[in-house]
Amino acid sequence: QKHAKPVDYNAVINEAYNLFKNEQSGKNADYIPFLDRANAAMYGIVIVTKEGQVYQVGETKFEFGIESVEKVFTLCMAMEIFGDSVILEKVGASQTGLPFNSVPAIELDDKKPSNPLVNAGAMATTSLLTSHFGHSDAWEKVDAYFAKFAGRQLTILDELYKSEAANNQHNQAIAMLLKSYGYMYDDPLYACDFYTKQCSYGVTTRDLGIMAGTLANGGVNPITKERLIKEEYVPKVLAIMGTTGLYETTGEWMFKVGLPSKSGVGGGIISVVPGRYAIAVFSPPLDKAGNSVRAQKAIQYISGKLNANIYSGK
């Protein structure tokens, strides 16, 4: 009975914080020099309820790179503008079971980008937006939409952007490959660079909590109360998160935790408990698939304590 007694979110996140703060496994993303240099001890946990209550512990005010968590909000924006069938047709919604920057995934999936939460699909989705708005307006529009999710203006971590842009030849190759198959809707290198910039947004764990809280609240930002995505699209975004949000380990994640989630190589993970609250955790050391180790452990613990598994029916 989930509403039987008031939930002590503070107690649960503090337990999760203390249980895993000494966890030593995992390793910072080393293919982006800026991320490699991050302090591996940093750790923050936030819960944002659909009513707009914010619970936090640890380094929740530190700004880190949003990285792949941005893909969720780019998807929301594209879904709002173009509708869900365009996403299905022009990007896809199938899981790859492969790493986030897999080239074989494109070849295997009918030359398609697979889904908006892997690099190929995220760049294809971004290219839909940049061609729709035009190069002179696109950044301003995307920037304004992301600001609405966070409830504040976000800025690019310039050093991260430069560090990643100087090392993203692999993503450029994916963008070019998609272009050759007809799944890029703007200049591929422009879209790749735009995507890289989106990945370089500086966010706090609290920002991520509010952004994810908007999805937990059916598309309405729980703090500003502004609707950012149609209610009917929210389950579709969550479905893609639930099948691919942690890349090739998503199946295991859903088996253990049962929450639609999204990770980024900056160390952030968001999880959504639909209609109730969102959990955001940040800590830089990653597992082999690129998912924060402490964040996964903390969310698994919190989800267990709060009976959050979406398949439990509780």
Query: Residue 261 burial (CB < 10 Å; 0-12/13-18/19+)?
Result: buried
Q: Closest distance between ligand GLN and the C-beta of residue 199, in Å?
A: 4
- In the complex, which residue's CB is closest to ligand GLN? 68
Please name which of 123, 147, 279, 137 lies closest in space to residue 203, comparing C-alpha atoms: 147
Q: Closest distance between ligand GLN and the C-beta of residue 47, in Å?
A: 22
- Comparison of 29 and 47: residue with beta carbon closer to ligand GLN: 29
44 touches ligand GLN by CB under 6 A: no
- Comparison of 46 and 265: residue with beta carbon closer to ligand GLN: 265
- Comparison of 60 and 101: residue with beta carbon closer to ligand GLN: 101
Q: Closest distance between ligand GLN and the C-beta of residue 148, in Å?
A: 22
- Comparison of 241 and 265: residue with beta carbon closer to ligand GLN: 265
Q: How many residues in the chain? A: 314
Query: Of 105, 150, 175, 265, which lies in the binding site for ligand GLN, with binding defined by CB under 6 A?
Result: 265
**Interface positions, 65-84, toward ligand GLN (CB under 6 A):** 67-68
- Comparison of 260 and 274: residue with beta carbon closer to ligand GLN: 260
Question: Rounded to an integer, what distance in angstroms lies between the CA atom of residue 137 and that of residue 13?
Answer: 41
Residues tagged in the binding site annotation:
68, 119, 164, 171, 195, 247, 265
Query: Residue 137 burial (CB < 10 Å; 0-12/13-18/19+)?
Result: exposed
Map residues 102-131 to x or -, x wherever contact with ligand GLN holds by CB under 6 A: -----------------x------------
Q: For ligand GLN, how many residues bind (rule: CB under 6 A)?
A: 11
217 touches ligand GLN by CB under 6 A: no
Query: Of 20, 55, 100, 253, which lies in the binding site for ligand GLN, with binding defined by CB under 6 A?
Result: 100
264 touches ligand GLN by CB under 6 A: yes
Distance in Å from the first CA to the final CA of the chain: 7
Contact 177, 103 (CB under 8 A): yes
Q: Closest distance between ligand GLN and the C-beta of residue 94, in Å?
A: 18
- DSSP letter at 232 equals G
Q: What is the phi/psi pair of residue 201, to 5°? A: -60, 135
Q: Which amino acid is at 232?
A: E
Q: Closest distance between ligand GLN and the C-beta of residue 100, in Å?
A: 4
Map residues 154-183 to x or -, x wherever contact with ligand GLN holds by CB under 6 A: ----------x------x------------
Q: Which amino acid is at 279?
A: I
Burial annotation 293-312 (CB, 10 A radius, 16+ → b, else e): bbbbbbbbbbbebbebbbee
- DSSP letter at 220 equals B
Question: Rounded to an integer, what distance in angstroms lies between the CA atom of residue 261 and that of residue 239?
Answer: 10
Q: Closest distance between ligand GLN and the C-beta of residue 232, in Å?
A: 28
Question: Rounded to an integer, what distance in angstroms lies between the CA atom of residue 219 and that of residue 215?
Answer: 5
Query: Of 199, 210, 234, 246, which lies in the binding site for ligand GLN, with binding defined by CB under 6 A?
Result: 199
Question: Rounded to an integer, what distance in angstroms lies between the CA atom of residue 68 and that of residue 74?
Answer: 10
Tokens encoding 84: 């869900």
- Comparison of 195 and 277: residue with beta carbon closer to ligand GLN: 195
Q: Closest distance between ligand GLN and the C-beta of residue 124, in Å?
A: 13
Angle at 104 between CA 270 and CA 71, to 5 degrees: 25
Q: Which residues sit at the interface with ligand GLN, rule CB under 6 A?
A: 67-68, 100-101, 119, 164, 171, 199, 264-265, 290
